[in-house]
């Protein structure tokens, strides 16, 4: 069975959020999800967490694609993949 966790919206305590995700990874959680809501984008929290984790998979539950061109969404995904160690074999949910 796979286990997933999600980041709450508008989480301002990023050190606590990263400690939560790092501990979840240590305990065997498979993936963490981020969503775009309440003034925060979906990608930046995942980049922040990618720098602090090594195995947990990263996913975006909600991303406002209507405000971005398809090319920008693709560039964002490619940037995050490069920062986190790359594509599906190393962590994307």
One digit per residue, the tens of pLDDT, for the chain of length 93 reads 899 998 876 667 888 889 999 999 999 999 999 888 777 888 888 888 999 999 999 988 778 877 888 898 888 888 888 887 765 444 444
Q: Please give the helix or strand (H or E) that residue 60 lies within, else none.
A: strand 57-62
Enclosing domain of residue 69: 4-90
Under DSSP, is residue 66 helix (H, G, I), strand (E, B) or coil?
helix
Q: How many domains does the chain have?
A: 1
Q: Minimal CA–CA distance to 39: which of 64, 20, 19? A: 64
Stated pTM of the model: 0.75
Contact between 43 and 63 under an 8 Å Cβ cutoff? The reply is yes
């Amino acid at each position: 069975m796979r286990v997933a966790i999600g980041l709450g919206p508008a989480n301002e305590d990023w050190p606590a959020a990263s400690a939560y995700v790092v501990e979840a990874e240590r305990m065997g959680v498979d993936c963490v999800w981020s969503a775009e809501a309440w003034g925060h984008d979906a990608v930046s929290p995942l980049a922040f967490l990618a720098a602090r984790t090594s195995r947990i998979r990263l996913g975006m539950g909600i991303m406002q694609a209507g405000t971005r061109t398809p090319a920008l969404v693709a560039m964002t995904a490619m940037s995050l993949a490069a920062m986190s160690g790359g594509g599906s074999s190393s962590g994307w949910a």
